[in-house]
Amino acid sequence: MILKKISLLLFTLLIITTLYSCSEKPDALYINGKIYSMDNENKVYEAMAIKDGKILEMGTTDEINSNYKSEDVTDLQGATVLPGLIDSDGSIIEFSKNLNFINLSYVKSIEDIKKLVIEKTKTTNEGEWIGGYGWNELNIPESELVEINKSILDEIAPNYNVYLVNAGLNTVWVNSRLMRVIKVDSTTKSPENGEIEKDSKGNPTGLFFDSAVNIIKNNLPVLLQSEMKTQIEKGLNTIAKYGITGVHDRTVGEDGIEIFRNLIDEKKFPIRVYAVISGEDSSLTNTYLSKGPEINYGDRLTIRAVTLDYDGQFDLQDALMTNEYNNDPKVKTPYVTESDIENLYAKALDKGFQFSIKAVGDKAVSTSLDIFQKVNSTKKVGDSRTILEYCEFVNPKDFNRINELKIIPSVRPDICINDLLIVSQIINPDNAATLGLWNSLLSSAGKITTGSDFPFHQINPFVQMYYLTTRDLIDTSLANLANPDQKISLADAVRSYTVWPAYSSFEEDTKGTLEKGKFADFIIISNDIFNSPPKELLNTTVTKTIVNGRVIYDSSKERK
């Protein structure tokens, strides 16, 4: 008798639950698709229902159509859907500023640069500033590099103020008009730790090196906050075109946070940002460590992490390496001291903040782990989710410590690929054996995240996934790149842009996978990347980007 009553009760509850779920009217339905949830079971669905910015239900098209009705129904027609992509290292403000600049990242000759500058003059009023960034000396023949001077830019853009910054941000190339505007001439002295290059007659050649770059930087036109807000809004919409629904931003300062909040309040901030406060900004760091984390402001902004840069780019000999470099200075001096790292890491743990550190070289990685071990031995660490940014070179002896300390490695695929090509030119070639050990990092940590470091490097997530899964160049196939066994699976490459960055920012309960109850953050893409050759990643485009169930980018409308 008791069993019958229990069975009747359970049946009644089941009926009530079913009726309740069916009574909810979704805001939108997506049907007839191939929806990769990226959940623990790697389930693939055909359809989903969305309500109030979250996923109400997922299932087959028949199940969703039977249980739910909505005026807003999108027939995916077999298209592939992924969770929204999260870039673990990008600068929204710099990206937004650079939208008006020329991207010189892929130029391979002076002629390429000239063509891009000439093209830019066609859409720029005379007398205005033309900026370009990202040209890399390693991609341009040395015979052409020695010819670089103001006259090349004078010839093609005499009536504009032209400045072109290299990828390392330590060289800027300008034309004569710009130098006249900022009053740099033969009498101008080079600053300490910098050089204004001059010819045999003592006249500036148009090249500024190291700290002399600041002469140009400090004279650039400053955008008003209202103009900056407009530019950032434009930048956010452009970022969404790449399927990026979230960014971990390690460069945002107090002014940037204020603009972010204003845009969020005005409902003009379409994506999510996990702001990471720089430890070098001691005032801002102390402010946030004092008042505590700020979680999900306006459903868009979270501030609960602090960071330091221990070292810098390998191609500039700024990475802290165990071996000496071939050229002077042979030993890199770190940007911060071990004491600086130890103090900020300890404070972060005490105040409930996440800590991340940029450590490119193998010595920087090892020393960072030493510091974590030392501090952890004196504190109750808890679920800290400490992040090791870049970790390009890693001594295999450190993999066990990464595992034991529960460190989350965050990698930069295209930077690693480029550095693999130049290791032997800069340092003992044996260092290539410790560069870009993605598979080993994944095995030791259980997860990795991928950051692009946009706008200074390739923002397209599918290009980064191509590097991770093929460990090869885009335009040329090289069989002799070191560590071919360090490529990872496509599923793990996608997780490094979805599941794992959500976890790394303590947001795994709300995003990173497509599951009932989570934010409806997802993208529709042009190819089924899981059933296509790796090269198709390079041809994959985003057709729609959806955040909180709202379409924030639609390629079909862009073409109209």
In the chain, what percentage of residues exceed pLDDT 90?
84
pLDDT classification of 132: cutoffs 50, 70, 90: very high
pLDDT classification of 23: cutoffs 50, 70, 90: low
Same CATH fold, 225-555 and 92-217? no
pLDDT classification of 169: cutoffs 50, 70, 90: confident
**Is the pLDDT assigned to residue 230 strictly greater than 50?**
yes
Q: How far apart are CA 155 and CA 68, in angstroms?
A: 65
Q: How far apart are CA 239 and CA 555, in angstroms?
A: 13
Report in angstroms the alpha-carbon separations of 109 from 112, 116, 461: 5, 11, 26
The per-residue pLDDT for range 312-340, each reduced to its tens digit, is: 999 989 999 999 999 999 999 999 999 99
Q: How far apart are CA 160 and CA 146, in angstroms?
A: 24
Per the model's pLDDT, the better-predicted residue between 103 and 510 turns out to be: 510
Its sign, for the CA torsion 173, 175, 177, 179, is: positive
- Residue 4: the pLDDT is 52
Strand partners, 550: 547
Q: Where are the domains of the chain?
A: 2-78, 92-217, 225-555
Instruction: State the average pLDDT for the chain.
Output: 93
CATH superfamily of 225-555: Metal-dependent hydrolases (3.20.20.140)
Residue with token string 């191609």: 315
**Is the pLDDT assigned to residue 190 strictly greater than 70?**
yes
Per the model's pLDDT, the better-predicted residue between 206 and 379 turns out to be: 206
The per-residue pLDDT for range 239-267, each reduced to its tens digit, is: 999 999 999 999 999 999 999 999 999 99
The residue type found at 519 is F
**Is the pLDDT assigned to residue 12 strictly greater than 90?**
no
Dihedral pair phi/psi, residue 471, rounded to 5°: 50, 50
Structural element, H or E, at residue 14: helix 2-23
**Is the pLDDT assigned to residue 530 strictly greater than 50?**
yes
Contact 34, 80 (CB under 8 A): yes
The packing angle between helices 225-240 and 254-265, to 10°, is 70
The per-residue pLDDT for range 342-397, each reduced to its tens digit, is: 999 999 999 999 999 999 999 999 999 999 999 999 988 889 999 999 999 999 99
What would the mean pLDDT of 298-324 be, rounded to a whole number?
96
Could you give the 3-state DSSP secondary structure of residue 180? helix
Q: How far apart are CA 408 and CA 503, in angstroms?
A: 10
CATH topology of domain 2-78: Urease, subunit C; domain 1 (2.30.40)
CATH 3.10.310.70, domain 92-217, yes or no: yes
The per-residue pLDDT for range 471-500, each reduced to its tens digit, is: 998 877 666 788 999 999 999 999 999 999
Could you give the 3-state DSSP secondary structure of residue 316? coil
Could you give the 3-state DSSP secondary structure of residue 58? strand
Contact 455, 105 (CB under 8 A): no
